[in-house]
Amino acid sequence: MRNWIAFGLLALAVMAGTPARGQTFSSPRQRAKYVRLYNKGNAFLYQGQYVPAIAHFKQAIAIAPQLPGAWRQLGLAYEGMEEYRSAIRAYQQYLKYAGTRGKYAVKVMLRINVCRSKVGLPPKKFETFLTGRPGMVNVTCNVEGALVRVDNVQRASTPTGPLPVSPGLHTITVSKVGRLPWSSSIVIQSGQNASVNAVLKPDPSYHLIVVRPRIAVPKTTRASVIMRVNVKQFQVFANGKRVASGATGAYELGSGIWLVEVRAPGMLTWSRKVSLGKGEHRVFDVRLYNRKRQIAFSRYAWATLATAAALTIVGAGFGFAEDHAYERVRDRDASSRQELDDFARRGKAYRAVSLTLYGAAGAALITSAVFFLLHHRSESATGKVPLSLSVGRRGVSLSFTREVDF
């Protein structure tokens, strides 16, 4: 999750540009020092090195606190470290000096609401001063009958058509009984048509009370279990002793708590504690997993995971080499123009190698995840991996077809 946050912050930081030129400095040397600290902070921010980035932005703010750019970049760095309350304070300082009509004011308001949601605070309503024609918001949801609110005003219930809204920053909230509420902030420009997809997850604290009719149970003192196993040759043990099946295929046991085990040659043992009352009859669907294949999948998974880690480390090394080469070009740390060109070509080569290694590491990581899935659930009764691949208008999606225990 943290990697996705870093990618989003990198995209926002690239859009920030250079510091504003309208600030008055006491001397050209002071301005040059500010620009140098600001640019170095941005360089660390682009690389995901948030601690030195925060230190450089704070030094730049100490020189010229009225410049809003450093406050915004400081907020992005705090957000990358998941220090959301500090990020909110930095963003608020940006709005204090840039105003609500600033170049990045709407985006900063959006980041404030994202940070507030991370710490459990409700979204804040901002006056964005955007003008123009009303826009439309199309809200889709994975459940029907959910209430849709725009800026805490109920507008419709799912499924719903496009909702007209005024230009500016709006908070969309979708909720339903038995589901965790979903909320997101969105910026609507003049005449814009936007879409949001709300995914409501089940609320684990919600319990639906169901009254079941009583079923008559025949009075008998014997209890039994029926084992439906995905292999033909197997043995059933109860509290460590082998149990033979009766004429009906059931294994008769007395009432009480039993440790029931199902064993088969070359397969992992299935075991479960079973509580049986007088005259109770229970049926179990047992899936035994191949021992050798499970061990092989586990080895392949760890080997590909280690390969991904090694490729990532080497790729990071080439990335640092690229930064060093470009830094020498920026600082003119060379005796001739040809030497500067050599550094630039070297930086490009390092970048190509670094990106290639990162791509290979990603492929190895995906392969490792597949092997881990095969290790846990490949030898089911159906022999299928619990994954579903679907192609739609929004691209390719990969999802689990049933619960997987890791």
- Tens-digit pLDDT profile for residues 277-330: 777 888 888 888 777 777 888 888 899 999 999 999 998 998 888 888 878 777
Residue 191 makes CB contacts below 8 A (sequence gap 6+) with 132, 133, 134, 135
Tokens of residue 190, six digits: 């003049």
Same domain, 308 and 261: no
Residue 392 lies in a domain: yes
**Structural domains in the chain (count):** 4
- Domain co-membership, 182 together with 100: no
pLDDT at 51: 92
Given a contact cutoff of 8 angstroms between Cβ atoms, the answer to whether 149 and 155 are in contact is yes
What's the confidence (pLDDT) of residue 195?
87
Q: Domain limits at 187?
A: 135-198
405 is a domain residue: no
Instruction: Answer with the one of 63, 90, 118 that is the final residue of a domain.
Output: 118
Identify whether residues 106 and 139 lie together within a single domain.
Answer: no
Work out the angle at residue 381's Cα, subtended by the Cα atoms of residues 379 and 382, and round it to the nearest 5 degrees: 95
Q: Which of 23, 3, 120 is nearest to 70 (CA)?
A: 23
Whether 9 and 80 have beta carbons less than 8 Å apart is answered as yes
Per-residue pLDDT at 385: 53
Cβ atoms within 10 Å, residue 247: 5
Is the same domain home to 315 and 276?
no
* Dist. CA 128–CA 270, nearest whole Å: 61
Based on the fold, state whether residues 276 and 303 are members of the same structural domain: no
Indicate if 112 and 46 belong to the same structural domain: yes
* 207 in a structural domain: no
In a domain, 256, yes or no: yes
Does the residue 26 lie in any domain? Answer: yes
311 found inside a domain: yes
* Domain end call among 183, 198, 213: 198
Same domain, 49 and 13: yes
Q: Which two tokens stand for residue 202?
A: 């089940």
Tell whether 183 and 106 lie within a shared domain.
no
Q: Do 65 and 151 fall into the same domain?
A: no
Query: Looking at the domain assignment, is residue 129 inside a domain?
Result: no
93, part of any domain: yes
Q: Which token pair is 35? A: 């620009």
CATH code where residue 247 lies? 2.60.40.1120
Q: With 0-12 CB in 10 A as exposed, 13-18 as middle and 19+ as buried, what is 56?
A: buried
Low-confidence ranges of the chain (pLDDT < 70): 1-24, 100-102, 127-132, 207-221, 376-406
Distant-in-sequence, close-in-space partners of 142: CB < 8 Å, separation ≥ 6: 198, 199, 200
